[in-house]
Amino acid sequence: MVEPDGLRRFQAHRPRLFALAYRMLGSASEAEDAVQEIYLRWDGTDRGVIRSAEAWLTTAVVNLCRSWLLSARARRESYVGPWLPEPVPTAAGELGPLESVEERELVSLALLTAMERLSPVERAVFVLREAFGYAHREIADMLTLTEANSQQIFRRAGLRVREGRSRFDVPSDHARELIERFLKAARNGDVAALERMLATDATSTADGGGLVNTARRPIVGANNVARYLVGLFRWEVPGVEIVVRELNGSPAVVAWVAGNPLLVVDMDTAGDTVTALRLIVNPEKLAYLGRVGG
Mean of pLDDT over the chain? 92
Q: What digits encode the pLDDT tens for the residues 8-21?
A: 889 999 999 999 99
Q: What digits encode the pLDDT tens for the residues 134-147?
A: 999 999 999 999 99
Residue 48's pLDDT is 82
Residue 293's pLDDT is 81
Residue 236's pLDDT is 73
Whether 157 contacts 123, CB under 8 Å: yes
235 φ, ψ (degrees, to nearest 5): -70, 110
Q: What is the pLDDT averaged over residues 36-60? A: 92
Q: Provide the pLDDT confidence category of residue 110 given band limits of 50, 70 and 90.
A: very high
Whether 88 contacts 246, CB under 8 Å: no
Q: What digits encode the pLDDT tens for the residues 149-198?
A: 999 999 999 999 988 666 566 556 778 889 999 999 999 999 999 999 99
Q: Does the predicted model carry a pTM greater than 0.75?
A: yes
Residue 67's pLDDT is 95
In the predicted model, is pLDDT for residue 251 greater than 90? yes
Query: In which element (H, E) is residue 275 found?
Result: strand 273-280
Residue 99's pLDDT is 86
Question: Would you report the helix, strand and coil content of the chain in percent, each value rounded to 5?
Answer: 55, 15, 30
Q: Provide the pLDDT confidence category of residue 71 given band limits of 50, 70 and 90.
A: confident
Q: Where does 142-272 show beta strands of DSSP type E?
A: 198-207, 219-220, 240-247, 250-257, 260-270
Residue 234's pLDDT is 80
Strands 219-220 and 260-270: unpaired
Q: How many CB atoms lie within 10 A of CB 254?
A: 23
Q: What is the torsional sign of CA 92, 98, 101, 104?
A: negative
Radius of gyration of the chain (CA): 20
- The proportion of the chain whose per-residue pLDDT surpasses 70, expressed as a percent, equals 95
Residue 46's pLDDT is 86
